[in-house]
Structure 1
Amino acid sequence: MALHHEPTAPHHSVQDALRVLETVARQTTGVTDTELARRTGLGRERLTPLLRMLRREGYVGQTADGTYLAGAALARLSSAHGREQALRDKLQQTLDRLRDAVGAAVYLSRYVDGEVSVTQYADGPGAPKVNEWVDFRHSAHATAIGKSLLTQLDQAGRRDHLARHRMARLTSRTITSDQVLLSRLAAQPASVPVLDLQEYAVGTVCAAVPVTAGAAVGCLALSLPVERAHRLRRAAEALNRGAAPVLLSLAI
């Protein structure tokens, strides 16, 4: 199964962040922002917000004299021992922060062995998660998560998935024609969030953006009660802007 990837803004941010981290990690005594700019070739307008994000996420620390050092989060994720749990913990912290920032339940999903898998999520009293009344594995045609993952496959991969999962009508808005769905997936720009406007569940709207690290297909998604649907596009844009730390954790 081939993948169909187009770089998005968060991916470009991650590439720049990795260059910064590689430079910081090589300088055991610390490195100044001026030196970082020179070594990475990044202008101050790009470097300053990246360093702010890297400090917030714990990937770099800053000494009293202003030099930057590798942070504790970078050390944990770079270690072979306990890396899987460290990655899960780091992703959960990021998802919790995103939930609070966008005011919605947030989900991290992967496409693993031909199936949709929600690997982690963050919800709360003011950000209820969607009721999974139909297994997400069998409802990719109706969910923002599923459609975002399918957009990252090639045409053969999408057809294979739909051949294995019947496109059941879950609400009056559900697309049940594979030709209609395949046409919409092919036309979906990588940089634009995929939406689910009560296609999976009456009373819930969702949005999803791709987070792809290497050959792994993944996405970040959010859900809102339909009475907050007016917030969906703005929340989706915030989710897309907040995707870089998730991508970075997966890439380290």
Structure 2
Amino acid sequence: MSDGPTLIGSVQRALHLLDAVGASARPVTAKQLARTVGVPLPTAYHLLRTLVHEGYLRKLEDGYVLGERLRPAGPEHASQRLLTRVRPILRALRDELHGAAYLALYTDGEIELVDIVDGPDTPTADLWVGAHEAGHATAFGKCILATLPTGQRADYLARHHLADLTPHTITDVRTLEHTLATGGEVFDDRQEYLLGTACLGGVVHGPGVLGAVAVSLPARRYRATRAAARAMQRAAHRVTRAAAADAVTR
């Protein structure tokens, strides 16, 4: 007769699913979770459905995130908390401007790409250089750099070489500073990060958050229209409000 505790397997599996979702900064699909936890996919679906019903998880279009009953605390989970509010805004932006949508945040002195919403007709750009190394060459990076206080922007530029990614990339600090000073709340990248790809971004700036939303699309389709700029500003303002609401409810 065993002296060990009596363990309930289904409870263990549910807890392991919660751990796996909480460890990811982006939504996790049922198939990924089943593989990670090591359970059959039908079992994963049953457990996930229950966890969603009870509010421990939330199901988004492309995966699961922690639900309201497990709202994660601490700065290391800030992006996932914000993600549950922002994902519908990114989907709407993708559909309105017909390009993959992105959310980037300025965290601990670095520009971090924290979420992407794409689709079969709106594929993600080839992210061949990390966001933290390409702030000068991306629309979302310019949005963030333009919003930083002068001293913080100078510190960032002193720590990051303006790499020559394409023939269109701005590699001179004075030219970049002039661009940042004249862009307002919307910036674009016309094949500066990747040949054949253009990007439009809007500033997200509110209590406790500095970042940007952006959309990428083939350069041949890009048109810097007022309508597109207004759509980007609307999305950026919605994300700013979502971030403010998240800060209030923590």
**AA partner of residue 82 (structure 1):** R
> Which residue identity lines up with residue 234 of structure 1 in the other structure?
A
How far apart, CA to CA, are the structure 2 residues paired with 1:221 and 1:128?
Answer: 14
Range that drifts further, 177-186 or 233-242: 233-242
1:207–1:232 CA contact under 8 A, matched in 2: no
- Give the corresponding residue for 2:229: 236
Distance 1:98 1:187, change over 3 A: closer
Match of 2:142 among 123, 144, 147: 147
Separation in 2 of the partners of 1:240 and 1:139? 22
Aligned to 1:117: 112
Give the SS at the match of 1:111: strand
Q: Could you say what secondary structure the match of 1:195 adopts?
A: strand
| 1:63 aligned partner | none
1:201 aligns with 2:194: yes
Local SS of the residue matching 2:188: strand
Q: CA deviation at 1:209?
A: 0.7
1:223 Cα deviation from its structure 2 partner: 0.6
Alignment of 1:89 with 2:65, yes or no, is: no
Q: Distance in 1 between the 2:110 and 2:156 partners?
A: 8
Larger radius of gyration: 2
Q: Does 1:250 align with 2:239?
A: no
Give the Å deviation of 1:125. Answer: 1.3
Once the 2 structures are TM-superposed, how far is the Cα of residue 94 of structure 1 from its aligned partner? 2.1
- The alignment's TM-score, normalised by the length of structure 2, stands at 0.64
Larger RCO, structures 1/2 (Cα 8 Å, 6+ apart): 1
Cα distance in structure 2, aligned partners of 1:209 and 1:232 = 14
Residue by residue, what CA displacement relative to the aligned partner does 1:119-161 show, whole Å, maximum 9, x if unpaired? Answer: 1121111111111111111111111111110001122211111
Check the 8 A contact 2:124/2:216 in 1, yes or no.
Answer: yes
Query: CA distance change for structure 1 residues 188 and 101 in 2, over 3 Å: closer, same or farther?
Result: closer
Q: Find the aligned partners of 2:198 and 2:215 in 1 and give their Cα distance.
A: 9
Alignment match, 1:175: 170
Whether the 8 Å contact between 2:204 and 2:240 is mirrored in structure 1 is yes
Q: Count the aligned residue pairs.
A: 174
2:17 alignment partner in structure 1 = none
Contact 2:112 2:132 in 1 (8 A): yes
**Cα shift at 1:80:** 7.1
1:168 Cα deviation from its structure 2 partner:
1.2
Tell me what 1:46 maps to: none
Q: Give the AA of the match of 2:177.
A: L
Q: What is the identity, as a one-letter code, of the residue corresponding to 2:193?
A: Y
Alpha-carbon displacement from aligned partner over 1:9-57 (angstroms, at most 9, x marks no partner):
xxxxxxxxxxxxxxxxxxxxxxxxxxxxxxxxxxxxxxxxxxxxxxxxx
How many angstroms does 1:243 deviate by?
Answer: 2.9
SS in 2 for 1:211: strand
The offset of 1:163, in angstroms, is 1.1
Where in structure 1 are there 5+ consecutive unaligned residues? 1-78
**Residue 222 of structure 1 contacts residue 236 of structure 1 at CA under 8 Å; is this kept in 2?**
no
- 2:127 & 2:82 partners in 1: Cα distance? 25
Which of 206, 218, 238 matches 2:211? 218
Q: Confirm or deny: 8 A CA contact 2:99 2:217 kept in the other structure.
A: yes
Do the aligned partners of residues 87 and 145 (structure 1) sit closer, same or farther apart at CA in structure 2, a change above 3 Å counting?
A: closer
Residue from 120, 125, 129 that aligns with 1:130: 125
Cα distance in 2, alignment partners of residues 242 and 135 from structure 1: 24
Are 2:136 and 2:170, in contact at CA under 8 Å, matched by a contact in 1?
A: yes
Alpha carbons 2:209, 2:243 under 8 Å: kept:
no
Per the normalisation by structure 1, the TM-score is: 0.63
Percent identity for Structure 1 against Structure 2: 37
Q: 1:181 aligns to what SS in structure 2?
A: helix
